[in-house]
A and B are shown apart, each in its own frame.
Chain A
Amino acid sequence: MQITTPSFKDNARRALGDSDLRRALDNMKTGFVGKRLLAVERLPEFDALRDDARDIKEHVLENLDAYLERFEARVKEQGGQVHWCRDADEARRVMLEICRDAGARTVTKSKSMIGEEIAINEHLEANGIEPVETDLGEYIIQLRREPPSHIIAPAIHLSKEQVADAFRQKHGQFPGDRPLDEPRALVDEARAVLRQRYFDADVGITGANMLVAETGSVVIVTNEGNADLTMTLPPVHIVLASIEKVVPTLEDAATILRVLARSATGQEMSVYTTFCTGPRRSGDADGPEAFHVVLLDNGRSALLGGEFHDILRCIRCGACLNHCPVYSAIGGHAYGWVYPGPMGAVLTPGLIGLEQAADLPNATTFCGKCEEVCPMRIPLPKMMRYWRDREFEARLTPTLSRLGLAAWTFLALRPALYRVATGLVIGILGALGRNRGRFRRLPLAGGWTAARDLPAPQGRTFMRLWAQRRRGRP
């Protein structure tokens, strides 16, 4: 997909002016945020489970090579195939080859963020294979030819009217004047259309929430059941997973499942959690004949062991997006690539390069809410700060900011000079602002006064007044 991250500020400005988007994002508070809180309150062990989940994933990352080898061996024992891919290009090539070998004309897909990351749909389309997204939200945005705006609710930015418009345009098989006012009607229509696509598809592509080393199973979680249909009906199943998804045992998977849905949507469990192990067995009446796992690195192994190591624990629940004041204000598209919100601000620079994503680690208030709700206890603000360090070192920080900072540091390190200089400025501003108590506009303060008045200082510095008080004392 096209990267628009470098124009983050313009994207954000546009998003802020979009009243449909604002209404859609408001739904998120009562939906995801409120429901998560209720689910967490119902489970006294939630924090203990978060600790366990973090420890499991840490243990895996420390032994990632061994667990991947073990997973691979198990998949092969069950008659599946594993394809290791260093980057997006390699993964696209491998997947296209599998589709071609299957003589595929259409493939169904269940939502996969890694699929977005490697832009698999565009690649298949360019090669004459039609990909059909089956997650309802993902299907809607595919019809509208736009990228997802949220990692678990890709169409969260849309109103039902916008969805109805897309359906009227693209579903020519139905009468044009059919009623599509209610979400129910929209869901039913999508269900009917997609049902046939499952039967027609030659290949089903799913992502993976986890890979289980113990059994060689792929764990796929959905609410709609679309991944189960995608992996059951077509003759070939391709799983696209990144290398950090592996967990040791079924018990470890259970622990992560307990925090996943609660953090994501506030459900105790998602509706369908399927552990899928190899192709159809003898005697089975259904299931695919071939089972492929594409294991993608795409820069992740390089993040291991470094400052951004902890982001590899991420289970893509979306809690950090749902709770982020910045995401809640601008939505996901403004971030300009696959991963928005706090986890995106940490992951995106690591995957597409800091130059392109320079805004993301800065466009945060460091309020810490993301870390507070993260089920994997990922220190997101700390890692955004690491990216800021790298920007500063690489001189990506804007010149004006650098100069301002240098001047401030110069003064801060010279207390005597600092007192004189600040005393002077504060004295002037205090006198100017004395009557109104604030400024509507002030030279060099445009960033501040664009949105709010600048409160005037009281006029004398504390340090000066304190010195006077001390002198006045006997």
Chain B
Amino acid sequence: MSGARDTILGSIRKSLKRGPLSAEQAARLEHRLKTPRANVIPARARVSGRRRTDLFVDEAERVSTTVARVADAAGVPGAIASYLAEHNLPATLKVAPDPALKTIPWSEKPVLSVVEGRGEDGDAVSVTGAFAGVAETGTLVLLSGPEHPSTLNLLPETHIVVLRRDHLVGSYEDAWALLRVMGRGMPRTVTMVTGPSRTADIEQTLQLGAHGPRRLHIVLIGGAEDDAE
């Protein structure tokens, strides 16, 4: 197999009419990788405060995500219960073992039955947190890990995401910057989710819920009072 590696690298260098990069050239590439710079960022993404929230909600709704807003964590069970009732969905939730979700007073809505764990076939509704929401395109950034099994994003027909308003960022680059600040490297998966699963493979007619969730619902925590810039 090392034969193939050498052949391919050799063929690349032959086509580029050069040998391996010099130490200086290699250092330049390493520098580019170590100090990542953003390219053009659309002006649309460079907003903050209330305008950022509004943009996120607008863009999310454009792609058939639904958004409910609550003032604080205490409002989450009520918002979820009424969403489920409105859509005639079962009130059994598979909830991610996320410390932030543990602070939600689920017991205040006894109609909700809450089970923690990863996603399984047959789960109807999942609830997870989100690392960030990107206003630019109404995109959720979900990191896999013990507190967020990625099957929860995929298997249930309805995926509910509890997102804190102060986790909203403008651009994808802002999300990368946050991820680097955390300093834990790349999780196994970073999934950017923009709307519920869909396909247009049959006669170019859009159908939601191809393999993943049919419904993506965001409960956005953060009241009007923190709308100051």
Where the two chains meet, the residues of A that have a C-beta atom closer than 8 Å to any C-beta of B are 24, 27-28, 30-32, 43-45, 48-49, 51-52, 56, 62-70, 78, 83-86, 90, 94, 134-137, 140, 153-156, 158-160, 163, 183-184, 186-187, 190-191, 194-195, 199, 213-217, 223-226, 228-229, 231-233, 243, 248-252, 254-255, 257-258, 265, 267-281, 283-287, 295, 297, 301-306
Are B197 and A271 in touch, CB under 8 angstroms?
Answer: yes
Residues of A within 8 A of B21 (CB): 63, 65-66
Are B210 and A136 in touch, CB under 8 angstroms?
Answer: yes
Are A224 and B189 in touch, CB under 8 angstroms?
Answer: no
Q: Which of B114-143 contact A (CB under 8 A)?
A: 117-119, 121, 137, 139
Write the chain B residue with the least CB distance to A29. Answer: B204
Q: Smallest CB–CB gap between A128 and chain B, Å?
A: 24
Residues of B within 8 A of A283 (CB): 145-146
- Some 19 contacts from A to B, beta carbons below 8 A apart, are A30-B204, A44-B42, A45-B42, A56-B39, A62-B16, A66-B25, A84-B4, A186-B202, A224-B210, A251-B39, A251-B176, A254-B173, A273-B191, A284-B145, A285-B118, A285-B151, A295-B8, A297-B8, A304-B16
CA A156 – CA B200 in complex, angstroms? 9
Q: Given the interface contacts A84-B4, A86-B4, A252-B39, does A63 sit within 8 Å of B11 by beta carbon?
A: no
Residues of A within 8 A of B87 (CB): none
Residues of A within 8 A of B194 (CB): 267-273
Residues of B within 8 A of A156 (CB): 201, 204
Residues of B within 8 A of A44 (CB): 42-43
Write the chain B residue with the least CB distance to A56. Answer: B39
CA A269 – CA B213 in complex, angstroms? 17
Q: How many residues of B contact A (CB 8 A)?
A: 78
Residues of A within 8 A of B139 (CB): 269
Is B144 in the interface zone, CB < 8 Å from A?
Answer: yes
The 8 Å CB contact of B33, one of A49, A214, A276, is A214
Residues of B within 8 A of A257 (CB): 172
CA A51 – CA B154 in complex, angstroms? 35
Residues of A within 8 A of B192 (CB): 269, 272-274
Are A301 and B15 in touch, CB under 8 angstroms?
Answer: yes
CA A270 – CA B137 in complex, angstroms? 10
The 8 Å CB contact of B151, one of A62, A248, A270, A286, is A286
Residues of A within 8 A of B195 (CB): 271
Q: Smallest CB–CB gap between A383 and chain B, Å?
A: 16
Are A287 and B144 in touch, CB under 8 angstroms?
Answer: yes
The 8 Å CB contact of A217, one of B12, B121, B186, is B186
Q: Smallest CB–CB gap between A46 and chain B, Å?
A: 9
Q: Smallest CB–CB gap between A30 and chain B, Å?
A: 8
CA A226 – CA B209 in complex, angstroms? 11
The 8 Å CB contact of A287, one of B4, B29, B43, B188, is B188
Are B154 and A229 in touch, CB under 8 angstroms?
Answer: yes
Is B104 in the interface zone, CB < 8 Å from A?
Answer: no
Residues of A within 8 A of B37 (CB): 251
Q: Given the interface contacts A66-B26, A272-B212, does A285 sit within 8 Å of B117 by beta carbon?
A: yes
Q: Which of B176-225 contact A (CB under 8 A)?
A: 176, 179, 185-205, 207, 209-213
Q: Smallest CB–CB gap between A252 and chain B, Å?
A: 7
Q: Smallest CB–CB gap between A213 and chain B, Å?
A: 6
Are B9 and A69 in touch, CB under 8 angstroms?
Answer: yes
CA A243 – CA B11 in complex, angstroms? 12
Are B39 and A272 in touch, CB under 8 angstroms?
Answer: no
Is B50 in the interface zone, CB < 8 Å from A?
Answer: no
The 8 Å CB contact of B211, one of A86, A163, A225, A248, is A225
Is B63 in the interface zone, CB < 8 Å from A?
Answer: yes
Is B109 in the interface zone, CB < 8 Å from A?
Answer: no
CA A183 – CA B155 in complex, angstroms? 21
Residues of A within 8 A of B77 (CB): none
Residues of A within 8 A of B198 (CB): 223-224, 271
Residues of A within 8 A of B29 (CB): 63, 66-67, 70, 248
Are B12 and A271 in touch, CB under 8 angstroms?
Answer: no
Are B13 and A223 in touch, CB under 8 angstroms?
Answer: no
Is B228 in the interface zone, CB < 8 Å from A?
Answer: no
Residues of A within 8 A of B171 (CB): 254
Residues of B within 8 A of A255 (CB): 39-40
